[in-house]
Structure 1
Amino acid sequence: MQENNQKNTSRCDLDAIVSELRLLRNKSLQRRQREGRPTKLPSRKALIDVLEKLSAALFPNRLGSGELTDESIDYFVGHTLDAALRSLCEQVRRECCFKAEQNGSVVSECNNQQADSIKRDFAAQLPAIRALLDEDLMSAYEGDPAAASPDEVLVCYPGMTAVIYHRIAHALHSLGAPLVARMIADISHSVTGIDIHPGARIGPSFFIDHGTGVVIGETAIIGRHVRLYQAVTLGAKRFPKDADGTLVKGNDRHPIVEDDVVIYAGATILGRVTIGQGATIGGNVWLTHSVPPGSIITQPQAHSEALSGGAATQQEGVYNSH
């Protein structure tokens, strides 16, 4: 009898919690001016599977099946790509429905057409994405003396995984699926410790060495042959607000990094500043101003020095030690 009473008490408590959660959920929907059950968001679990399949289709010999032959590889790529794109299309369709609901539009068949169009355009970009990734791969191999082979970079380096996922996410972001792209970026962040917003524009031959703690903001622009080390931040200096006090979104607020730049571990570069071509940014530098091409920016304890064209120039108040 005592056991039954305990079960009943437990059940009553659970019912009360469920009821209270339902009331809070309904209030939240009302605040967001929604009625009924909200549309489904893209599935993180499904997107993880999509990323694995797309990676396998792009690099079947190393990230695909270990039993592939010359006769079976094209079949594997085609079959894997078909499954990945079908699932991706469903996730993009969910995003389209979600955006329609947010905008107060009717969720209709047109969302299927939009999702299918994004899927087709994305698929058409896959050869170009593979070509970019080949350049990234060779840049990593040639730039790291610890890399024994390009294959090792592909299967072992978190920086390479992050770049693969970013190239995929950026394409989807550009084609009109920013939520799916952002979820892919978050999956990449969880796997690699590297946080790259899918809106960031990154040129070929990009290499992130070690990588943990790297942050690259939404409007960052990175040129060719750029190398970053761990804990580098390309972030925003400030967040302007409009007359109502709401944060202004979408403005250019992250750095521009030109070709052939190296940024060493722990450097923080903030705001819409330009790092000139061929510049080297030393470890732990805190930078909020543009620097000319060829500069070497270091962070000694007593002073900061910029070397440009072989001439040393003191720049007080520009490079603060943090």
Structure 2
Amino acid sequence: MPTLGIDLGGTFARAAVVDGGGKMLASAKVALAERSPTGVVETIAQAAAAAVKGAGVPVSSCGVGAAAQIHKDSGVLSVAPNLGWRNVPLGQMLTARLGQPVRVVNDLAAAAWGELHAGAGRGASDLLVVFVGSGVGSAIIANAKLLDGAGGVAGELGHIKVVPGGRRCGCGELGCLEAYAGGHNLITQTRELLAAGRSPKLVELTDGDPARVTPVTLELAAEAGEDASREVYERAAQFLALAVANQVTVLNPARLILGGGVLTHCVGMRRRVVEGVQSWASQVSREGLLITESELGDDSGIIGAALLAA
């Protein structure tokens, strides 16, 4: 029987009915009218009902991928930076609201599972999946199994420390990789340069409007040779490339799958990550390594969440 997949972001909830082969039969997307746990649960329920109605078939269970650190046994979101949540029992709340079993996992864990079974990971059993979008996320598939760790938070590449006591991350801690290389934080750092008047090139690219700043804006200013922009960009690129290279050394995956808006649109940043792996990962760990892009794109998480629920 098909299952229901949910992709919970910071502004929308997406739902899809997915068959056993990873094919989406119908989907729906609903904006989060409010970000309280009860409000988000209702939004998810609306999206789920619309997707099931569109598919015209019953579903047996539901999987949810959320950008959060999640306790694997309870489905409690310990930290969900995009929603401003702490210790929210989302799994329990959704099970009660939807009236069916619900499994809640990290969004990158869901994406990795989707890529393994229906995307760029097919035919492999050891994957490292790294997405850089608004944040920095990663997940690990080892011997065709999702590596989730004792508490369910293994693979949190975005929250390794790169500058002890450094910039504050959305998780509340200091010096995380995500605080320097995540999309939201790249925008924040670029706006700081703009506000300080340190980057004429950024003023030119944005007409001085902070709302027009994107990670691509920073990359363009850095590539133009402007010192202030290049400093922020090079730091982020080097931290990210070194972190991914070290993960390859530790895990020895068969495939490294890269995705997310920053790595998709910032071509130079993606190139730096690939070059970093080729230069800094141990030679034996990268022998036979295939570096590829996400095949399912934005649908990887919703498909993976549904397949995990199955």
Q: TM-score, normalised by structure 2?
A: 0.28
Higher relative contact order (CA 8 A, sep 6+): 2
TM-score, length-normalised on structure 1?
Answer: 0.27
Structure with greater proportional strand content: 2
